[in-house]
């Protein structure tokens, strides 16, 4: 028996309603990849392997839930997994898929498929259906963060996410603030951990990592108002990933 192999994490990756971009991040950071997979005993990962085993401990769940067969599959995974991870924004919050919930289901089916019957349910996040042990937000997840979390799980240390907002990471890079460029950016209220990748690329943060802890929402709304920025734009941005509560004043 190899004592190192015995410590490998028995992991499985499952995808639901999503683009599979988060799973794909697992195959990125190629120069670290062989070492990364050394930590893992991949039991089930359809996108890269034809091996399928059901004796995993950790289940990464990518995507949100929008069909009955998905609900059944998720419940079964929950029974097996010791640690069930909501992996990525769709799993954590519903993600962009939730934009569908703005319309009646029969309308969207008709718009896309015409007369053909296609089953679809309103989008739900993973924690709406089963207990989630760990959430890793991001659209897509950041591989660096995933590596750090996997190492924590392998060594039995505590897994933490940054509590502060994206603004902190953005300021550290001395980026021009998007508010200075006349745009609404959700950096002041969104949880950090992405290295402020969007504002660093001069595009507004759309909040894929969800709210930071202890955010000052009234101050943020005041900032948007003071600068005379478009309230509909704010509403669109807050709704983009379904990661923020809709604003009471903006409900129509």
Partner 1 sequence: MKRKSSLDVHNLTHAKDNSLPLKREYSLDIHHLTRVEGHGNIHITVRNGKLLDARWAIVETPRFFEAMLQGMSAEQVPFLTSRICGICSISHSLASIRALERAMAIVPPPAAEKIRLLAMHGETLQSHALHLFFLIAPDFAGTTSVLPLIQSHPEVVRAGLQLKELGNEISTVTTGRCTHPVSLVVGGVSKAPDKQRLLQIKKMIQERKPALERACTFFQSLTIPDFVRETEFISLSNGTTYPAIGGQLVSTDGVIKDENEYLQMTNEYTAEGSTSKFTRLSRSSSAAGALARFNNNHHLLHPKAQEMANRLALKPICHNPFMNNIAQFVECVHILEDAEELINALLDMELSEIRTHYTPQAGVATGAVEAPRGILYHHFETNNEGRIVKADCIIPTTQNNANIHLDVQAIAEQALNEEKSDEEITKLCEMVVRSYDPCISCSVH
Q: 15 or 145: whose CB is closer to partner 1?
A: 15
CA 79 to chain centre: 22
Q: 36 or 161: whose CB is closer to partner 1?
A: 36
Using the rule CB under 8 A, is 68 a contact of partner 1? no
- Separation of alpha carbons 210 and 105, rounded Å: 26
Using the rule CB under 8 A, is 79 a contact of partner 1? no
- Separation of alpha carbons 216 and 242, rounded Å: 19
Among candidate residues 70, 69, 60, 65, the one with its CA nearest the CA of residue 90: 65
Q: 157 or 246: whose CB is closer to partner 1?
A: 246
| Binds partner 1 (CB under 8 A): choice among 11, 12, 36, 42 | 42
Using the rule CB under 8 A, is 5 a contact of partner 1? no
- Separation of alpha carbons 207 and 31, rounded Å: 29
Question: SS3 for 73?
Answer: helix
Question: How many residues belong to the chain?
Answer: 252
| Binds partner 1 (CB under 8 A): choice among 60, 70, 85, 189 | 70
Q: Are 63 and 173 in contact (CB under 8 A)?
A: no
**What are the Cα distances from residue 106, in Å, to 68, 97, 111, 116, 132?**
17, 16, 9, 11, 31
Using the rule CB under 8 A, is 11 a contact of partner 1? no
Q: 105 or 154: whose CB is closer to partner 1?
A: 105
Provide the minimum distance between the beta carbon of 192 and partner 1 in the complex, in angstroms, as a whole number: 16
Burial of 214 (0-12, 13-18, 19+ CB in 10 A): exposed
Beta bridge partners of 60: 13, 85
Among candidate residues 152, 181, 140, the one with its CA nearest the CA of residue 58: 152
| Binds partner 1 (CB under 8 A): choice among 27, 39, 83, 221 | 27
Size of the site for partner 1 (CB under 8 A): 60
Among candidate residues 195, 169, 208, 61, the one with its CA nearest the CA of residue 125: 61
Segment lying near partner 1 (by CB under 8 A), choices 146-154, 161-169, 194-202, 211-219: 194-202
> What mask of x and - would describe binding to partner 1 in positions 117 to 146, judged by CB under 8 A?
-x-x------------------xx------
> What mask of x and - would describe binding to partner 1 in positions 146 to 185, judged by CB under 8 A?
----------------------------------------
- Separation of alpha carbons 168 and 237, rounded Å: 20
Using the rule CB under 8 A, is 23 a contact of partner 1? yes
| Binds partner 1 (CB under 8 A): choice among 49, 172, 216, 225 | 49
Q: Which residue ranges make up the site for partner 1 (CB under 8 A)?
A: 15-25, 27-28, 30-31, 33-34, 37, 42, 45-52, 66-67, 70, 95-97, 99-100, 102-103, 107-109, 111-116, 118, 120, 139-140, 197-198, 200-203, 206, 233, 236, 240
């Amino acid at each position: 028996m190899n004592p190192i192999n015995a410590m490998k994490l028995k992991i499985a990756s499952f995808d639901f309603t999503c683009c599979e971009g988060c799973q794909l991040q697992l195959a990125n950071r190629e120069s670290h990849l062989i070492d990364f997979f050394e930590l893992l005993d991949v039991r089930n990962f359809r996108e890269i392997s034809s091996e399928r085993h059901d004796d995993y401990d950790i289940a990464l769940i990518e995507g949100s839930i929008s069909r009955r067969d998905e609900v059944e599959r998720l419940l079964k995974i929950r029974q097996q997994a010791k640690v069930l991870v909501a992996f990525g924004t769709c799993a954590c919050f519903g993600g962009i898929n939730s934009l569908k919930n703005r319309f009646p289901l029969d309308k969207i089916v008709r718009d896309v498929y015409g007369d053909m019957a296609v089953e679809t349910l309103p989008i739900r996040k993973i924690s709406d259906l089963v207990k989630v042990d760990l959430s890793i937000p991001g659209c897509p997840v950041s591989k660096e963060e995933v590596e750090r979390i996997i190492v924590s799980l392998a060594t039995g240390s505590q897994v933490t996410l940054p509590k502060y907002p994206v603004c902190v990471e953005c300021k550290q890079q001395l980026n021009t603030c998007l508010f200075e460029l006349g745009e609404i950016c959700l950096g002041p209220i969104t949880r950090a951990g992405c290295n402020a990748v969007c504002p660093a690329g001069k595009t507004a943060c759309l909040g894929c990592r969800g709210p930071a802890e202890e955010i000052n929402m009234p101050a943020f709304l005041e900032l948007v108002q003071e600068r005379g920025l478009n309230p509909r734009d704010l509403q669109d941005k807050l709704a983009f990933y379904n990661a923020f509560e809709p604003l009471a004043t903006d409900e129509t």
